[in-house]
Amino acid sequence: MEFRIKKAEFNTSVGTGGKYPEKKGAEIAIVGKSNVGKSSLINSLCNMNKLAKTSQKPGKTRLINFFTVNGGFSLVDLPGYGFAEASKEEKLRWGGLIESYLGSGRVDHIIMLLDIRHEPTADDRQMFKYILYYAIPYTLVATKADKLAKSKRRQAANACAKLLGAPPYAIAFSGETGDGKQELLDRIGQIVLPPAPEEEETAEQKSEE
């Protein structure tokens, strides 16, 4: 059965030294460089155009924004990194904010966004190192897929993952066309929904063999 997001609402924003909200259910963080499309992705997945604020100006998101989804889990929008016009002090503050959250033990899964049109940046590679260091399960998503011909999207998405240093697979996604949306929703469903009893039983049987 296809996974759906039926309800989503803004919970709270947290800055440096702020208190995280009480954790309820799985917590899925969304990371990526400034202007890669994090807010657009959240709005597309939740079918709400203005749930996460979008901007043409990179670096708008400077806080960690928590959204409660389907009443049972959270999507967490982290500040975009790699914003060239930010001061050194701001970059250090944002880096500390993100690293503190990743090391908090709250994060169950990370959805890392890459721009399908470009090779991953040094900041992308640094973020991926953080993910590996904290041993957080992840899914790679190559955004802005509508900018490429359909025949080239899958290959380009997988190439992004390989260039990042990950296994060569990423979901090609477009908030404009909905390309890859259901694939990503189903991936989220696998993270937040416990396996059916028969699936657990099968897994136990395999482990005994």
- How far apart, in Å, are the Cα atoms of 121 and each of 28, 116, 118, 151, 173? 23, 12, 8, 24, 19
Pick 60 or 103 by higher pLDDT.
103
For residue 3, being part of any structural domain is answered with no
* pLDDT top residue among 92 and 12: 12
pLDDT for res 194: 75
> pTM for this structure?
0.88
| 61-101 confidence digits (pLDDT tens) | 578 999 999 999 999 999 888 766 667 777 777 778 888 99
CA dist 81 and 83 (Å) reads 6
- Is residue 187 assigned to a domain? yes
Q: How confident is the model at residue 189 (pLDDT cuts 50, 70, 90)?
A: very high
Supply the range of the domain harboring residue 185: 8-208
In a domain, 86, yes or no: yes
Structural domain tally of the chain? 1
The confidence score (pLDDT) of residue 56 equals: 46
Confidence (pLDDT) at 58: 46
Domain assignment of residue 2, yes or no: no
Mean pLDDT of the chain: 88
Q: Tell whether 155 is covered by a domain.
A: yes
- Within a domain: 147: yes
pLDDT at residue number 98: 87
Residue 121 forms part of a structural domain:
yes
User: If you count them, how many residues does the chain have?
Assistant: 209
pLDDT at residue 54, as a whole number: 62
Q: Are 179 and 153 a contacting pair, CB within 8 Å?
A: yes
For residue 122, the domain's CATH number is 3.40.50.300
Highest mean predicted confidence (pLDDT) among 15-24, 148-157, 190-199: 148-157
Per-position b or e across 42-81, b if 16+ CB within 10 A of its CB: bbbbbebeebbebeeebbebbbbbbbbbbeebbbbbbbbb
| Residue 1 belongs to some domain of the structure | no
